[in-house]
Chain A
């Protein structure tokens, strides 16, 4: 390590990056119709609509066609600002190319959920939440030329038809489509496959090291060598798409050269010629410089997003992958550290050049989300050695200076292997940015992954996917967001004997497990809860499996497969099980609320017999109106056990739940031959699901937010140390799809060094495994912004365009969140590090109107 100052305080934003950042924050997202237009045209010309299956080679030819025909944008020149007013600029980034044809684009994937935007085409420009710019010509193109062809061909519709087995919808019984009904009701679970699989990490080291030409030659040779027709087709498909990627980069070079010919400014002319030179070389050939390595990553990344929706696709351990090129260039004087920071800042802006398509109500569930492109730094290497290097600190500095939502930076820390100086720097960046990076405890994560049969080497080489999910870099096609299960619905089905208040008392949703008022003991209730939970899991998994098989027939992914370990050896696409690790995964919403509800039932109803079950149900139905004393008891941690207070019984309830869920999901084998894993991160779903659900036995009132991730319920855990102990006690092997522990620390301006000391101590304490007596917490993420700032940002969002927050997993701009989610963040338990105690604030009233 050559750095004298790991904080890199002498590195700043250059005028170039400052200007690019200003444009970035000024520009509103614009719908891009280029991709859907090209794939629709190709599908029509080649008869791909209405088929029973689309082969990987046909798909590959389609992607190559798109890559060869999409606009090669070297430098954007215009965008739209708030109020959808056009403005002009010159984008002089150090990288060419873009995810869409727009400066900040919304790519559309009509084969997935883009059609849900159809009703909004005329109004999305002026909607209250995160509007998208679209021209009248683009509306007409989508309405008349593009969307109509996909009506029968979206993944969800193809799956629905398959479930009906040829029967018309009007002749089908509800039983045929129960899983689809459950999905439509939205309160039980969500599955992400109608929208994407994405959520994985490709490996760029081969593309950087040998170049795409060598990869094409390898694929061609393998195709020639095999007699297996499906393998041959796979290898041919890989060669096709990689030729497309090379072609796109060459066209960028052509465009840069053409621009240089007419450029009057000699400095800009030189830059354009340099860009052209880089794109003539990579990604076709091995990268020879740090900049070329970054360009290879970037161009391959745009190609991956051409094929895979921009949701949760993650870049992995870039500080490992690019370290040799960085070291060479710095050591030989080709670049300075400032140059490297400059390059990383430009890359960060490019990575954030797109936002996911989200319809209006989606904003209520996932409001303010970016594409959640996680980048992982630090930790240990495959052999367990310290993997933190100078580039780790360069990336941290770029993140600190840029404060962007995307990419989502995640830092690994292995206690005892990585230095304390490194941990201190991670905490320092959290204080400066207020929200990033998220911190992951290598020891606990590696234990979780190896418990699911990843080898130690694979586990040590994990990267973070999407929000917080760990997966072996370039090996695990883990589909980490397959299922988002609302656990409180399982509780609801238990409380109301197979029925749900959202769907009405007359509709039996699952099956009857008995009137809880007649249960003799808490054990009876727990048994019923387990049965309802397992039933819910069964339905969610069945739908996920059906959708997975539809993906296999219609949505092979040759581009992504080319950048993975496994497919090239087996000759199988990722979707057919070609990866080394083939898990699927679920995440659970409402853990703390359900755990505290179970604890409350046991203590208040069955042990202390303060109220009868019938009275409790009546209180829930009436949202505690007329049951104020009971409500007071239920929310009082002194009277009712609460997770997050180092209370053995309450924490054991959480352990029982995570163990039960791990077993129930772990029994399931997916369509690729892997098993299901479980995690506890909720994005904004704890707010979205909360809005739909009635009061719960832990004293949460109807339509209030649930608690995020694995975090204890807000306001009932007065002591930071106890809260951390409760979470750290949970068994890592049951949390293999990652967790999000959301904490809020009060910024203390009086003695910043002391605050930093305390910050570091809190993380060390949480990660500590007490010599094997506990697991050590797996993940922790922070919001370090004052309560007053958040409150003011609600009233004056225009004054806080860059206010970054951690939601539950990803980072977001506070102004982009929906009012429910803003309230949830403001109301989160806040701790003063100097005392370790909770700071009390009155619950924030929800804001009805925005903008």
Chain B
């Protein structure tokens, strides 16, 4: 007797496993982010993104591997400082700072929220593209931004949007 039907019949139960359950919960928690990735982005976008990352980092082990051994302090802000949010990664831990941080390793200043969204997620563009349009300015180590952009897109992939 072939194993294939048996494996196939077990597939729905995999969602009961803790890891998959974590993934589902994290996805549920990212609904608003998903909406903003596919629709209009508001000022809450940065916080929603960081919350989404936080959820996946806590609940989904494969995503957590992104920050294994990684330390980095990020400040995201609009050029008029209307939106300002910080995040610190410290070896598999993530700490959000909704009012921003002063001692950042990298600061990403963007013209407006859609510009940041485009900077991180746009399908056929990369980070340099936004720089070309002078919509985003980076201070600090650019490599941190490359890493963050991968994590953002990796999150988008988990949400089925990349």
A interface residues (Cβ-Cβ under 8 A, vs B): 115-116, 118-123, 127-129, 143-144, 147-148, 150-152, 154, 156-157, 160, 168-170, 172, 177, 184-186, 359-362, 364, 502-504, 691-692
Given contacts A118-B146, A360-B124, contact A169 B129 (CB under 8 A): no
Out of A154, A169, A359, which one reaches B126, CB within 8 Å? A359
Taking a contact as CB atoms under 8 Å apart, the answer to whether B127 and A148 are in contact is: no
Taking a contact as CB atoms under 8 Å apart, the answer to whether B127 and A116 are in contact is: yes
Taking a contact as CB atoms under 8 Å apart, the answer to whether A127 and B69 are in contact is: no
Taking a contact as CB atoms under 8 Å apart, the answer to whether A119 and B162 are in contact is: no
Out of A129, A150, A168, A362, which one reaches B143, CB within 8 Å? A150
| Beta-carbon nearest neighbor of B70 in chain A | A148
Taking a contact as CB atoms under 8 Å apart, the answer to whether B132 and A121 are in contact is: no
User: Which residues of chain A come closer than 8 Å to B126, judged between CB atoms?
Assistant: 116, 119-120, 359-361
Out of A118, A144, A169, A691, which one reaches B141, CB within 8 Å? A169
Taking a contact as CB atoms under 8 Å apart, the answer to whether A152 and B141 are in contact is: yes
Given contacts A118-B150, A186-B132, A360-B126, contact A143 B104 (CB under 8 A): no
The answer, yes or no, to whether B147 is at the interface (CB within 8 Å) is yes
User: Which residues of chain A come closer than 8 Å to B154, judged between CB atoms?
Assistant: 122, 143
A-B contact count (CB 8 A): 106
A154 to B146, CA, bound (A): 13
- 28 intermolecular pairs with C-beta atoms under 8 Å apart: A118-B146, A118-B149, A119-B120, A119-B127, A119-B150, A121-B150, A122-B162, A143-B150, A143-B154, A147-B147, A154-B143, A168-B105, A169-B104, A170-B105, A170-B107, A170-B139, A170-B140, A185-B134, A359-B126, A359-B128, A360-B124, A360-B126, A360-B129, A361-B126, A361-B128, A362-B128, A364-B129, A504-B134
The answer, yes or no, to whether B80 is at the interface (CB within 8 Å) is no
Taking a contact as CB atoms under 8 Å apart, the answer to whether B142 and A144 are in contact is: no
Identify the interface centre among A150, A160, A184: most chain B CB within 10 Å of its CB: A184
Chain A residues touching B, majority SS: helix
Given contacts A127-B124, A169-B106, contact A116 B146 (CB under 8 A): yes
User: Which residues of chain A come closer than 8 Å to B162, judged between CB atoms?
Assistant: 122-123
A185 to B134, CA, bound (A): 7
User: Which residues of chain A come closer than 8 Å to B66, judged between CB atoms?
Assistant: 143-144
Out of B131, B139, B143, B146, which one reaches A169, CB within 8 Å? B139
User: Which residues of chain B come closer than 8 Å to A144, judged between CB atoms?
Assistant: 65-66, 68
Out of B127, B129, B131, B147, which one reaches A151, CB within 8 Å? B147
Taking a contact as CB atoms under 8 Å apart, the answer to whether B131 and A186 are in contact is: yes
Q: Which of B82-138 contact A (CB under 8 A)?
A: 102-107, 120, 123-129, 131-132, 134, 137-138
The answer, yes or no, to whether B14 is at the interface (CB within 8 Å) is no
A342 to B127, CA, bound (A): 44
Taking a contact as CB atoms under 8 Å apart, the answer to whether B105 and A169 are in contact is: yes
A503 to B132, CA, bound (A): 11
Identify the interface centre among B123, B139, B144: most chain A CB within 10 Å of its CB: B139
User: Which residues of chain A come closer than 8 Å to B69, judged between CB atoms?
Assistant: 148
Taking a contact as CB atoms under 8 Å apart, the answer to whether A151 and B141 are in contact is: yes
| Beta-carbon nearest neighbor of B125 in chain A | A360
Taking a contact as CB atoms under 8 Å apart, the answer to whether B128 and A157 are in contact is: no
User: Which residues of chain B come closer than 8 Å to A127, judged between CB atoms?
Assistant: 124
Q: Mark B54-69, 1 if CB is under 8 A from A, else 0.
A: 0000000000011011
A118 to B131, CA, bound (A): 16
The answer, yes or no, to whether B157 is at the interface (CB within 8 Å) is yes
A723 to B137, CA, bound (A): 42
| Beta-carbon nearest neighbor of B119 in chain A | A119
Identify the interface centre among A116, A129, A169, A186: most chain B CB within 10 Å of its CB: A169
User: Which residues of chain B come closer than 8 Å to A122, judged between CB atoms?
Assistant: 150, 153-154, 157, 162
A151 to B147, CA, bound (A): 9
User: Which residues of chain A come closer than 8 Å to B129, judged between CB atoms?
Assistant: 360-361, 364
User: Which residues of chain A come closer than 8 Å to B140, judged between CB atoms?
Assistant: 169-170
| Beta-carbon nearest neighbor of B71 in chain A | A151
CB proximity of B105 to chain A, nearest CB, Å: 7
Q: Which of B8-47 contact A (CB under 8 A)?
A: none
User: Which residues of chain A come closer than 8 Å to B124, judged between CB atoms?
Assistant: 127-129, 360
Nearest 6 pairs between A and B by C-beta?
Answer: A119-B149, A361-B128, A169-B140, A118-B146, A360-B126, A151-B143
User: Which residues of chain A come closer than 8 Å to B131, judged between CB atoms?
Assistant: 184-186, 361
Taking a contact as CB atoms under 8 Å apart, the answer to whether A170 and B150 are in contact is: no
User: Which residues of chain B come closer than 8 Å to A168, judged between CB atoms?
Assistant: 103, 105
Known: A118-B143, A119-B127, A120-B126. 10 other contacts (CB 8 A): A115-B146, A121-B150, A122-B157, A150-B143, A169-B107, A170-B103, A177-B139, A186-B131, A360-B129, A361-B126
CB proximity of A559 to chain B, nearest CB, Å: 26
Taking a contact as CB atoms under 8 Å apart, the answer to whether A361 and B132 are in contact is: yes
A284 to B110, CA, bound (A): 56
CB proximity of A167 to chain B, nearest CB, Å: 12
CB proximity of B116 to chain A, nearest CB, Å: 13
Identify the interface centre among A120, A150, A177, A691: most chain B CB within 10 Å of its CB: A120
User: Which residues of chain B come closer than 8 Å to A502, judged between CB atoms?
Assistant: 134
Taking a contact as CB atoms under 8 Å apart, the answer to whether B146 and A157 are in contact is: no
User: Which residues of chain B come closer than 8 Å to A154, judged between CB atoms?
Assistant: 143
Out of B65, B107, B132, B142, which one reaches A157, CB within 8 Å? B142
User: Which residues of chain B come closer than 8 Å to A150, judged between CB atoms?
Assistant: 143
Taking a contact as CB atoms under 8 Å apart, the answer to whether A148 and B147 are in contact is: yes
A127 to B138, CA, bound (A): 24
Taking a contact as CB atoms under 8 Å apart, the answer to whether A116 and B123 are in contact is: no
A708 to B152, CA, bound (A): 38
User: Which residues of chain B come closer than 8 Å to A692, judged between CB atoms?
Assistant: 132
Taking a contact as CB atoms under 8 Å apart, the answer to whether A184 and B138 are in contact is: yes
A546 to B153, CA, bound (A): 34
User: Which residues of chain B come closer than 8 Å to A361, judged between CB atoms?
Assistant: 125-129, 131-132
Taking a contact as CB atoms under 8 Å apart, the answer to whether B153 and A151 are in contact is: no
CB proximity of B159 to chain A, nearest CB, Å: 13
User: Which residues of chain A come closer than 8 Å to B144, judged between CB atoms?
Assistant: 151
User: Which residues of chain B come closer than 8 Å to A172, judged between CB atoms?
Assistant: 139
User: Which residues of chain A come closer than 8 Å to B125, judged between CB atoms?
Assistant: 360-361
User: Which residues of chain B come closer than 8 Å to A359, judged between CB atoms?
Assistant: 126, 128
A172 to B120, CA, bound (A): 26
A423 to B146, CA, bound (A): 50
User: Which residues of chain A come closer than 8 Å to B70, judged between CB atoms?
Assistant: 148
| Beta-carbon nearest neighbor of A153 in chain B | B143
Given contacts A118-B150, A144-B68, A361-B132, contact A123 B123 (CB under 8 A): yes
A122 to B123, CA, bound (A): 11
A148 to B139, CA, bound (A): 19
A692 to B102, CA, bound (A): 33
Taking a contact as CB atoms under 8 Å apart, the answer to whether B65 and A160 are in contact is: no
CB proximity of B123 to chain A, nearest CB, Å: 7
User: Which residues of chain B come closer than 8 Å to A184, judged between CB atoms?
Assistant: 131, 137-138
| Beta-carbon nearest neighbor of B69 in chain A | A148
| Beta-carbon nearest neighbor of A184 in chain B | B131
A144 to B129, CA, bound (A): 25
A627 to B129, CA, bound (A): 32
A502 to B137, CA, bound (A): 13
A256 to B140, CA, bound (A): 49
| Beta-carbon nearest neighbor of A168 in chain B | B103
User: Which residues of chain B come closer than 8 Å to A157, judged between CB atoms?
Assistant: 141-143
A170 to B144, CA, bound (A): 14
User: Which residues of chain B come closer than 8 Å to A123, judged between CB atoms?
Assistant: 123, 153, 162
A801 to B142, CA, bound (A): 36
Given contacts A123-B162, A364-B132, contact A170 B153 (CB under 8 A): no
CB proximity of A111 to chain B, nearest CB, Å: 12
User: Which residues of chain B come closer than 8 Å to A115, judged between CB atoms?
Assistant: 143, 146-147
CB proximity of A157 to chain B, nearest CB, Å: 5
| Beta-carbon nearest neighbor of B154 in chain A | A122
CB proximity of A499 to chain B, nearest CB, Å: 13
CB proximity of B152 to chain A, nearest CB, Å: 8
Given contacts A144-B65, A361-B126, contact A119 B146 (CB under 8 A): yes
A184 to B139, CA, bound (A): 10
| Beta-carbon nearest neighbor of B141 in chain A | A157
Out of B68, B128, B153, which one reaches A116, CB within 8 Å? B128
| Beta-carbon nearest neighbor of B148 in chain A | A119
Identify the interface centre among A119, A154, A360, A502: most chain B CB within 10 Å of its CB: A119
